[in-house]
Amino acid sequence: PRAVFIVGTPVVAINNDDVSSIILELEEEVSAKLIWIDTDGFKTKAAINGYDIVAHALLKYVVEPANKGEKDSFVNLISFSEKEQDLKRITDLLAALNLEWNLIPQYGSYDNIANAAKAAGSIVLNEDEGGYFADILEEECGVSHIKAELPVGSAGTRRFIRLITSIFHLPDAGQYEKMGQELAKPYIGKKILRG
Distance CA 12, CA 121 (A): 40
**Alpha-helix runs per DSSP H in the chain:** 19-27, 47-61, 84-96, 110-114, 127-141, 153-167, 173-184
Instruction: Read off the pLDDT band of 43 (50, 70, 90).
Output: low
- pLDDT for 105-137, tens place per residue? 999 999 999 999 999 999 999 999 999 999 999
Task: Write down how long the chain is.
Answer: 195
Question: To the nearest whole number, what is the mean pLDDT of the chain?
Answer: 83
> Hey, is 63 helix, strand or coil?
coil
Residue 45: the pLDDT is 62
Distance of alpha carbon 107 from alpha carbon 84, whole angstroms: 8
Report pLDDT for 69: 67
Quickly state the pLDDT bin for 168 (edges 50, 70, 90).
confident
d(CA 120, CA 125): 17
pTM of the model: 0.78
